[in-house]
Structure 1
């Protein structure tokens, strides 16, 4: 079976490739993933596409099909494999066990379809392209399959995938209720009666990380890229965090948009202050050359001490929190849900959509409306307890930041 392999470099961000059953890189997948990286795709995009290609080459290997010459029905078998985990021709005893939600099939299918579109354009490899695309079917939804390579391919304006993914009719973005957000934070660390914090600096770091996500609506890469001098908490002004447009995180975390200032509440300031004191007590100001310009979220247990935190470490913490509270938290929640929760809470509290747009860093208000328009239309959502109290401490300036 093909699998995804993490590739680490000492002097540049890590990346991903696909290796086959012979433990050697799958050449077509490697070339396409290299193309994605050269085009500026984020590490998360490369990773997601690598998993899609690994599943595709697993199906090809199982069926004995060549990667550049296969029946069109193979892609249908590939989608079934993603949905159920059953390889073609494999007998199953009992009902199929669903392994992937329909909403998660998009990036995996996009990886395969986009790879063949790339090879059709770059190498004039039209046979597999024609097996997956039909010039007789038009689809306004084609962009869902290959958003990154829209326009790449010999006749992309006319061609559409033969297999159209059926997605559930769901307009709502996933959100966490206030009690669930508190569960996440309290699992990381809580303040003791003597003023200390459980789990020490590590617990404070984790609680601060998820608290910043929840209170600012920033993206995972933006928070991982924060430096200490981005926290503006002195001088008598309203406390704020500067989200800077950076692309220098050693593990590939990136800030997708330009710089913006997000105003924060006093509780988050107090939590950040506690965390910094814990770092100083631990000797971080001595071990790090310039703590003010160093990353806020760093390794404290595993890996190189005070090295920038990896996204994988965050997801490990998500898994741990979910395992501890299987009844209280959705099984599939991710850090990005806190961004959706932030936007939802602001809109439910009556904050103008243009302010929410600027706070989230959206390029235009239409993006905000397209993503969260359902919030203002669904009056029943206002019945969720404590939404207004949840955002009461968030300070938003008149300029919309």
Structure 2
């Protein structure tokens, strides 16, 4: 079967796809290089490489050329993805753990993007995988929709419907319990005990809604401490992080409260006590969240280390098994919307490229709040009478 291969380059870590004979798959590598040249993140390249490796395994199992496929072939591929049996022609007549629709859609999206790229280069095969549509369903219409009505737009002939699910959120008591378990303040001797680094991280994610990669990519120069003004954190797009982390949405500013700002100051003091100011040549360019106990001292913290630590804390505190750092982002957005913050403000704070992303992801929050107002039926019916009297 085809496999994905991690590759270390001068620009950082990337991914490619190897065929059954361990040779690099030329057409796929050409497409992945296009993604790299257009500043796609390493995680995006990795995700698309995984989907295309499954597609290439499917083609190799059937002895089929990549540029001689149609919608029927893609439909067969989707079925195998759902059964988790890519490149297996025999269907097992037993209960199987079906792949989630979101996973299937992600893999199919990488394949269709690959063929869209080939079509842009003049390939003819994409004509059998796309169809022209004149209008787009739904209330939201993108800019220049009137142009599409005249000429149509190319849409995938095979689409995976993913049922929208309410995003998971954390309760205030759960977030407070994790913060307290990480580190606590002792007023008697004015010191912190425990993992102050993780207390700062969880508090930052809770109060700002940053993605984990954005938080771990913060350098000390990005934290603008409040000195007569509101403190803020700057999210800056960089491509030189040792672990390939990038700011997904480019530059933005996120204002923060004084307590979080003071917590950062305590963390800086703790780093200096550990000798960071003597070891680091460039303090401003150093990463805020760094190693203290394992690995190279003061090197940037890995996302894998955060997930491993959170796994330990979840078992210790009885937090939801499926909890990830991204739950903080969902919780932050939900809290803002329930507090009546306008959609466009929440969208800017989260760094969404399109406000429609915010609306689609958190529509249930505002809808539930609006529908909850209908619960006081007695008050509503009384208003009918008052209007009739006038």
TM-score class, shorter-chain normalisation, is 0.7 to 0.9
After superposition, give the CA deviation of every residue in 1:55-89 in whole Å (9 maximum; x if it has no partner): 21222233332322346433223223332312332
Which residue does the alignment assign to 1:395?
none
More strand by share: 2
SS at match of 1:160: strand
Q: Given that residues 17 and 53 in structure 2 are in contact (C-alpha distance below 8 angstroms), is that contact kept between their aligned partners in structure 1? A: yes
Which residue does the alignment assign to 1:27?
26
Report whether the alignment pairs 1:212 with 2:211.
no
Report whether the alignment pairs 1:197 with 2:196.
no
Q: 1:91 to 1:101 in 2, by over 3 A?
A: closer
* Distance in structure 2 (CA, Å) of the matches to 1:163 and 1:287: 56
Quote the offset at 1:97 in angstroms.
0.7
SS at match of 1:22: coil
After superposition, give the CA deviation of every residue in 1:84-113 in whole Å (9 maximum; x if it has no partner): 312332342530112x32123333211101
Which residue does the alignment assign to 2:6?
6
* Distance in structure 2 (CA, Å) of the matches to 1:288 and 1:120: 50
Q: 1:328 aligns with which of 319, 327, 331?
A: 319
So what's the TM-score if we normalise by structure 2? 0.78
Bigger Rg over Cα: 2
Moved more, 311-320 or 340-349: 311-320
Mark the runs of 5 or more structure 2 residues left unpaired by the alignment.
138-150, 374-390
* Distance in structure 2 (CA, Å) of the matches to 1:36 and 1:321: 37
Which residue does the alignment assign to 2:341?
351
* Distance in structure 2 (CA, Å) of the matches to 1:110 and 1:221: 23
After superposition, give the CA deviation of every residue in 1:293-314 in whole Å (9 maximum; x if it has no partner): 3111223455443233344444
Which residue does the alignment assign to 1:176?
170
Instruction: Provide the aligned C-alpha RMSD in A.
Output: 3.4
* Distance in structure 1 (CA, Å) of the matches to 2:220 and 2:333: 25
Which residue does the alignment assign to 2:97?
97
Which residue does the alignment assign to 2:146?
none
Q: 1:258 aligns with which of 242, 251, 255?
A: 251
Runs of 4+ in 1 over 6 A off after TM superposition: 380-383
Quote the offset at 1:239 in angstroms.
3.5
Mark the runs of 5 or more structure 1 residues left unpaired by the alignment.
142-155, 384-401
Which residue does the alignment assign to 2:330?
340
* Distance in structure 2 (CA, Å) of the matches to 1:229 and 1:140: 44
Quote the offset at 1:329 in angstroms.
1.3
Question: Where does 1:291-302 land on structure 2 (aligned, <5 Å)?
Answer: 291-302=283-294
So what's the TM-score if we normalise by structure 1? 0.76
Which residue does the alignment assign to 1:165?
160
Q: Given that residues 176 and 341 in structure 1 are in contact (C-alpha distance below 8 angstroms), is that contact kept between their aligned partners in structure 2? A: yes
* Distance in structure 2 (CA, Å) of the matches to 1:367 and 1:6: 31
Q: Given that residues 231 and 241 in structure 1 are in contact (C-alpha distance below 8 angstroms), is that contact kept between their aligned partners in structure 2? A: yes
* Distance in structure 2 (CA, Å) of the matches to 1:382 and 1:204: 40
